[in-house]
Structure 1
Amino acid sequence: MHEIRVVLGDEQRSFVEALAMRLEQEPFIRVVAAVTRPEEVLRVVRAQPVDLAVLTVDRHGGLLDLGPRLSAARPELKLVGVAGTDDTATMARAVQAGFRAWIPKDVGICVLLDVLQAVCRGETWIPPGLLTLLLEHLLTEQEQKRRAEEPLAALTAREQQVLRAMSSGATRDEIARQLCISGNTVRTHTQSILTKLGVHTSLAAVTLARRAGVG
């Protein structure tokens, strides 16, 4: 069997070291590194060939958002998420970040090994009981984005620039400097944006924009 080179990442040193010891007992798995910080995972992936990154993810963890950077550093790398939660939104974020599998943290070793081999073969693995919830969440997100995009189509190119700057957190003065326009012009564009989007505050406009993927 082809040797699977794995990097493990978890904020808890005891967990990641215990998992490394168990996986090292398998003749077809070589644990390249077992680390606790996102920067360490990225460093390992950039430095040497790795087939799988098995990372513990949660809604606040940096390992989840590391996915795109790891894929950019090594496109052939496959990502496996180990989760202590069944939070559907977090699972959806993981899938969108490039994770190919979602494994409960208390999964048995036999299932874990099967999943690692399946992902190496190019398969995706989501627990059957969560797959329907994941698909419903992704479809709902897609519909919300579609609805949010509709009113944005009425904005002029300059208004879209102003809204994008607002979504990035820029102040009125910062927007004026970025776009080389006056503060009064920014105010005028902002009022027009609110009117066209059918909202009453800049915060509501930014929320709508972010749902549409702007900012």
Structure 2
Amino acid sequence: MSEYPGTPGAAPGGAARRRSGEPAAAGDEQSATDPIRVLIVDDHALFRRGLEMVLADEPDIEVIGEGGDGNEAVEMARDLLPDVLLMDIRMPRRSGIEACRAIKEAVPSAKIVMLTISDEDTDLFEAIKAGASGYLLKEISIDEVPQAVRAVHGGQSLISPSMASKLITEFAALAKRSEERQQQVPAPKLTEREMEVLRLVARGLGNREIAKELFISENTVKNHVRNILEKLQLHSRMEAVVYAVREKLLEIT
């Protein structure tokens, strides 16, 4: 936390900071020139204030609100329809993971990044299963926060390097258990194109990179990813990677 600037007088939890009007309606498409709307949820007011100060200098990012616990996160997400949430895991009233599940149900388009001090394996895995698009430790530098917001908003998944190794270990364990399983439920049938997209997602490519690789539009890639997640009954690209490992679509050595 010491890497982020913080000053007394932060807004109380839940105080919305709407600096440029009300949120767009749920059905409206975001213009390419619209700023990325970010909601910050953390039970430490100074940390919230520090994040807001960092993001305030970015012309393409707008902090639309702050919350201090999981319940406020869910309520504000429903009201403000953020593009990206930066949220802690360990919070009062409702944990970040529980809030993540509720938010993904209420606002499926919202991308959630867990920004936490917890390096527990279980927190990482539960966050991914809940639909988080990123898991970053608070030790990251201030310069990385705006970059993380842009990357996740653009369809990428982010994990702190120290946590990524734990995730890869878990992937490998999943693959091994899959091999040892005597009976398996037949996997949902994906089209040939969906299989290509899934393999590229598993390699860590974002939507734009996949579009270039397959010579298709970025919107087409988004449609394929959405169809893949629906067919496999998954909630995030990270879960899709786990699936790809388990089904031997991606080899991990």
Same fold (TM over 0.5): yes
User: Does the alignment pair 1:71 with 2:104?
Assistant: yes
- Choose which of 119, 124, 129 in structure 2 pairs with 1:91: 124
Q: 1:140 to 1:56 in 2, by over 3 A?
A: same
- C-alpha distance in 2 between matches for 1:103 and 1:133: 13
Contact 1:92 1:138 in 2 (8 A): no
Deviations 1:14-55, CA, capped at 9 Å, x for gaps: 211221122122111111111101111111111122100110
| Runs of at least 4 residues off by over 6 Å | 141-150
Is the 2:114–2:134 Cα contact (8 Å) retained in structure 1? yes
Taking the aligned partners of 1:59 and 1:49, their CA distance within structure 2 comes to 21
1:52 is aligned to 84
Q: Which residue of 2 aligns with 1:13?
A: 45
Q: Name stretches of at least 5 consecutive residues in structure 1 with no aligned partner.
A: 151-215
* CA apart distance, 1:135: 2.6
Cα distance in 1 for residues equivalent to 2:57 and 2:166: 35
Map of 1:125 onto structure 2: 158
User: How far apart in 2 are the matches of 1:143 and 1:71?
Assistant: 30
* Correspondence list, 1:65-214, <5 A: 65-140=98-173
Distance 1:45 1:147 in 2: 42
Query: SS of 2:114's equivalent?
Result: strand
Shift of the alpha carbon at 1:10?
0.6
Instruction: Indicate the structure (1 or 2) with the bigger Cα radius of gyration.
Output: 1
For 1:57 and 1:46, the matched residues in 2 are separated by: 19
- Compared CA separation, residues 97 and 143, structure 1 to 2 (3 A): farther
State the Cα distance separating 1:56 from its structure 2 match: 1.1
Q: Which of the pair is proportionally richer in helix? A: 1
- Cα shift readout 1:67-86 (whole Å, capped 9, x = no counterpart): 11101111100000102132
**Taking every aligned residue pair, what percent have the same amino acid on both sides?**
21
Residues in 1 aligned to 2:75 and 2:61: alpha-carbon distance in whole angstroms: 20
Q: Is the alpha carbon distance of 1:35 and 1:147 closer, same or farther for their aligned partners in structure 2, counting shifts above 3 Å? A: farther
The 3-state SS of whatever aligns with 1:130 is helix
- 2:104 maps to a residue whose letter is S
TM-score where L is the length of structure 1: 0.61
Cα deviation, 1:85-118, whole Å, max 9, x if unaligned, reads 3222211111111111111112112111111111
What amino acid maps onto 1:93 in structure 2? E
Cα RMSD, aligned residues only = 2.8
